[in-house]
Chain A
Amino acid sequence: MTTDSRRLQIRRLNRLRLAGFFLILLFWLASVLIVENLLISTLIAFVISYLLSPVVNRLERQGFDRLWSTLWTFTVVGVLIGVTGFLIFPKLATALVALQKEAPTYITGFSRLIEDIESHLRAIFGPLFSFDLRELAESSLTQGSEAFFNEIPRFVKQTLTVMILAPFLAFFMVKDGRSITRKAFNLIPNHIFETTLSLQHQINHQIGHFVRARLLEALIVGLVTWFGLVLISFPFSLLLGIFAAVTNLIPYIGPLIGMIPAIGIALVNGSSNFDLLLVFTVYAVAQIIDGGLLIPFFVARLVNLHPVTVILVIIAGAQFMGVLGMIISIPVASTLKVTLETIYRHLTESRI
């Protein structure tokens, strides 16, 4: 066989392998997108597996095998979450019911606030200011709150499905993830095998650290906000703490969004300037702890994205997938960055 025909055969074989690999990837992507709740369950499963893998590895280091280490970790964490949920859910439900009852009061109060702002603006701009801000705000708030409370039953149903499916998927990701990846890697052509393996390792490492750091950050910010609001006897402290934790996952603008409801509630309730200052202090302390301690030590060194890139990526994420898109846009962008950097390095520095 001549060298040329050999090369041709090798190339054909590589294409075949690559096609097989992409077919499997495509099939997986299609099933995740088509089957209801599978996308969100898979994303949460990834997060759970990134969180629990280090614990499973630690147990494995003590001499337990992978299956038992995974089983123990999932059982203990499941029980802990169950107990926490048992303690927190009744409080959360009470807070939600109270919020639903008081929603009209807050909407009216908020409209009054808007009316004041509107009259100030009219005094400044005169006939130039022709918007009816009050009506606009009142109607959108009423519609929004109605939609929110109407969505709760559907959300709970979806949450229940995800709560069963996500840990189930995560269990197998932790237990068998590496062997499944290895099997899929059998289809990678030889000439790009090392690069792909290195890429996969770097991405995995980066996302793992990122997920763990961001969730720890959100948890601490949520807890500090909750405790702070309880200390100043502010209403809906638990709900506001959870909201602050979730919005804190959105870089830069998340903490500001997280503060809005509390400031809104304080303004509507006609709180004194001192009370407003207290609320602001609680959120500021949470952000100082986050920005001064948590980000420098856990987050900043992991994803070196330029702030402008971060903002653009968040806007793009919000346009595609709303709040979820804002939260997952940064890990996605950092994954792309690592991928492109590695490919670029491979292409430009592969030879001396």
Chain B
Amino acid sequence: MTTFAWKNLFRKDSKEKSVLETLKNTHIFGSLNKRELRLVMQTIHVRGYTPGETIFVQGELGIGMYIILHGRVDVLARTQSDSDESQVVTQLFEGDFFGELSLVENQGRRTATAIAATETSLIGFFKPDLMEILERQPQTGSKIMLRLAEVLGRRLKETSVRLTELKQETSKAPGRSSL
């Protein structure tokens, strides 16, 4: 584990290529050209996590999103709002991203807990980084914002569909009013 830590702390540019590749393949940064991606590379944070290490906790203030460079992340949610018990709701793999809502929310809180399931490397992209890009190269920032809006819109659509399905299921259940 110590080796992992040292590697993570002082490994320089060996990961650069895979970071660039991962960024290019992430929808939010997908429309950026090489020069714009280089600016994003200057702003992001590559973080290493050991198995079982918490990335963030449900209810905590969040300031940004993570992209999985390699490894696996378990996403857990509390079974009830006042309960301490959580259950895994989804598993995320290389190239997946999560926590993007915090990039646009003011004082936004994490809606789930994320834990590294294996040795994991994440690319962290946070609100101050987005602000820096918007300040230094607004065109690049706008492209990212547009893609971010697309992602959030898609998530909203998915949630709406799911909510409608749930409502339909509830109304079909015996002894329930259709209202």
Residue of B5, B54, B81 near A13 (CB, 8 A) is B5
Residues of A within 8 A of B136 (CB): 57, 60-61
Q: Is B49 within 8 A of A190, CB to CB?
A: yes
- Please state if A194 and B59 are interface contacts (CB–CB under 8 Å): no
CB pair A10–B52 under 8 Å, yes or no, is yes
**Contact A6 B63, CB 8 Å, known A17-B9, A61-B138, A194-B56:** no
State whether A201 touches B52 (Cβ < 8 A).
no
B35 to chain A, nearest CB (A): 9
Majority SS at the chain A contact face = helix
A190-B60 CB under 8 A given contacts A13-B5, A57-B136: no
Q: Which residues of A contact B54 (CB under 8 A)?
A: 190-191
**How far apart sit A176 and B60, CA to CA, in the bound complex (Å)?**
32
Number of interface residues of B (CB under 8 A): 35
- CB nearest neighbor in A for B55: A190
For the complex, count residues of A whose C-beta is within 8 A of B: 34
Contact indicator per residue, chain A 89-115, by CB within 8 Å of chain B (1) or not (0): 000000000000000000000000000
Q: Judge whether B63 and A194 touch: CB under 8 Å.
A: yes
B51, chain A: closest CB distance, angstroms: 7
Cβ-defined contact, B61 with A201, below 8 A: no
Q: How far is the CB of A93 from chain B (nearest CB, A)?
A: 42
Residues on B with C-beta less than 8 A from A346 are 61
Please indicate the chain B residues that have their CB under 8 angstroms from the CB of A195 in the complex. Answer: 61
Q: Nearest A residue to B128 by beta-carbon distance?
A: A201
How distant is the Cα of A40 from the Cα of B162 in the complex, in angstroms?
A: 61
Question: Contact string, A181-208, partner B, CB cutoff 8 A, digits 1/0?
Answer: 0100111001101110110110000000
CA distance A20 to B124 in the complex (A): 21
Query: Closest CB-CB distance, A164 to chain B, in whole Å?
Result: 29
* Contact, CB under 8 Å: A61 / B137: yes
Q: How far is the CB of B16 from chain A (nearest CB, A)?
A: 14
Beyond A6-B50, A185-B45, is A178–B132 a contact (Cβ under 8 Å)?
yes
Given contacts A13-B1, A195-B61, A350-B59, 15 further A-B contacts (CB under 8 A): A6-B50, A6-B51, A6-B52, A13-B50, A17-B5, A20-B9, A57-B136, A61-B138, A190-B49, A190-B54, A198-B127, A198-B128, A350-B60, A352-B59, A352-B81
9 nearest A-B residue pairs (beta carbon):
A201-B128, A351-B59, A352-B59, A6-B52, A60-B136, A198-B63, A350-B60, A10-B53, A194-B63
A351-B52 Cα distance, complex, nearest whole Å: 20
A157 at the interface (CB under 8 A from B): no
Bound CA span A61–B43, Å: 16
CB nearest neighbor in A for B126:
A197
Pair B63/A351 contact, Cβ less than 8 Å: no
A3 to B, closest residue via Cβ: B52
In the complex, whether A9 has a CB less than 8 A from a CB of chain B is yes
B42, B60, B127, B131, most chain A CB atoms within 10 A: B60
Given known A-B contacts A61-B136, A182-B45, A186-B9, A193 and B124 have beta carbons under 8 A apart: yes
A163 within 8 A of B: no
**Does A349 interact with chain B (Cβ within 8 Å)?**
yes
Q: What are 29 A-B residue pairs whose CB atoms fall within 8 Å in the complex?
A: A6-B52, A6-B53, A7-B52, A9-B50, A13-B1, A20-B9, A61-B137, A61-B138, A178-B42, A178-B43, A178-B132, A182-B45, A187-B9, A190-B49, A190-B54, A194-B56, A194-B61, A194-B62, A194-B63, A194-B64, A195-B61, A197-B63, A198-B61, A198-B126, A198-B127, A200-B128, A345-B61, A349-B61, A351-B60
Q: Does A150 contact B (CB under 8 A)?
A: no
Cβ–Cβ < 8 Å partners of A25 in chain B: none
**Contact assessment for B61 and A352 in the assembled complex, using a CB-CB cutoff below 8 Å:** no
Q: Which of B136-176 contact A (CB under 8 A)?
A: 136-138
Q: B21 contacts the other chain (Cβ, under 8 Å)?
A: no
**Which residues of chain B have C-beta atoms less than 8 A from A194's C-beta?**
56, 61-64, 126
B59-A10 in contact (CB<8A): no
Q: 8 Å CB contacts to B: which residues of A1-55?
A: 1, 3, 6-7, 9-10, 13, 16-17, 20
Cβ-based interface call for A84 (8 A): no
Chain A CB within 8 A of B105 CB: no
A213, chain B: closest CB distance, angstroms: 18
**B47 touches A (CB below 8 Å):** yes
- A75 interface residue (CB < 8 Å to B): no
Residues of B contacting A61 in the complex (Cβ-Cβ under 8 angstroms)? 135-138
Whether B27 sits at the interface, judged by CB under 8 Å, is no
Chain B residues with CB under 8 A of A350: 57, 59-61
B109 CB within 8 Å of chain A: yes
B14: min CB distance to chain A, Å: 15
Q: Does A179 contact B (CB under 8 A)?
A: yes
- Docked Cα-Cα span, A302 to B111, in Å, equals 32
Mark each residue of chain B from 16 to 60: 1 if its CB lies under 8 Å from any CB of chain A, else 0: 000000000000000000000000001101010111111111011
Distance between Cα atoms of A217 and B167 in the complex (Å): 61
